[in-house]
Each structure stands twice: as structure tokens, then as C-alpha cells.
Amino acid sequence: MSTFHDWMKKRRLREEFGAEGEPVDDFKFNTDDQDYADDYEHVEKELFKAVMSKYPEETEQFLNGIAQRGDEEIASLLRKLKKDQPLQMKEPQHPTDGDEIVPSGADSGYGGGEGEE
């Protein structure tokens, strides 16, 4: 018997006695909330970024409290974070730049094209 016929015979037996339902169902991922296939470290980083962006003062107070208890690792990381904090950049303005007054129809997209009347 050829390899293909062996495979077909085993497949038929497996389908008769095997799992119920569609074979495709075995390959569906992320169908419920209990699927933890994500990378744990990646989720930790996302959580920290979300907390830090939404609650920066509270997070900093919490971490400072831990650092003040004597945790040198947290204190060192906080110092690095404060040192490497990006500056809030404002758009440069020239002293002669003022507010530009534009007619109200300028942003409507109406008119001005060729062939329109």
C-alpha cells in the first residue's frame, strides 16, 4: 500500500473516531478572553505605558513611595526616567507671525475648479 493510501486510511479512521466538529476549529485562536497567547512581557510594557500616559502623577507618586522605602533599583530607574524625559517641544513662532484670517468658504472645497459655474 502506498504512503498516500496509508495516510487516507488513517485520516478516515481519525475522522470517524476522532474529534467532533470541524477540523478548522482546532486552528482558531483568540476566540475567547481566556486565551493567553500574547507575550507576557509585551503586555506588561503596554500596561505600564497605558498607566503612565493616563495617570502620570499617580504613577510617579507610587513609584517614588517605593523608592523612598529603600528600593535602589526603582530609585535608579526613576532617576534615569527623569533624566531622559523628552522635552515638550513647541512649534517655533516668528515674532511677525500673526493669526491668519481666512474667508469662511476657503475650507469648504466648493468652487474654484475648472468648468464649474
Tens-level pLDDT at each residue, the chain (117 residues):
688 888 888 888 777 766 556 666 666 665 555 555 567 888 888 998 999 889 988 988 999 999 999 889 989 988 888 877 666 666 667 777 777 776 676 556 666 555 555
One-letter amino acid of 35 = D
The distance between the two most distant Cα atoms of the chain, rounded to a whole number of Å, is 90
- Decide if 96 is inside a domain: no
Q: How many domains does the chain have?
A: 1
Residue 2 has what pLDDT? Answer: 83
- Decide if 21 is inside a domain: yes
- Decide if 102 is inside a domain: no
- Decide if 26 is inside a domain: yes
Provide the 8-state DSSP code for 104: G
Residue 18 has what pLDDT? Answer: 60
Rg (CA), the chain: 31
One-letter amino acid of 16 = E
- Grid cell for residue 110: 466648493
Residue 1 has what pLDDT? Answer: 64
Whole-angstrom CA distances from 81 to 9, 65, 78 are 63, 16, 5
- Decide if 78 is inside a domain: yes
Q: pTM of the predicted model, to two decimals?
A: 0.41
Query: CA 99 to CA 76: how far, in whole Å?
Result: 46
- Decide if 19 is inside a domain: yes
Residue 11 has what pLDDT? Answer: 82
Residue 54 has what pLDDT? Answer: 92
- Decide if 64 is inside a domain: yes
Note down the domain range covering 19: 7-84
DSSP string for residues in 19-47: -SS-GGGGG--S-STT---S-HHHHHHHH
- Decide if 114 is inside a domain: no
CB 59 within 8 A of CB 66: no
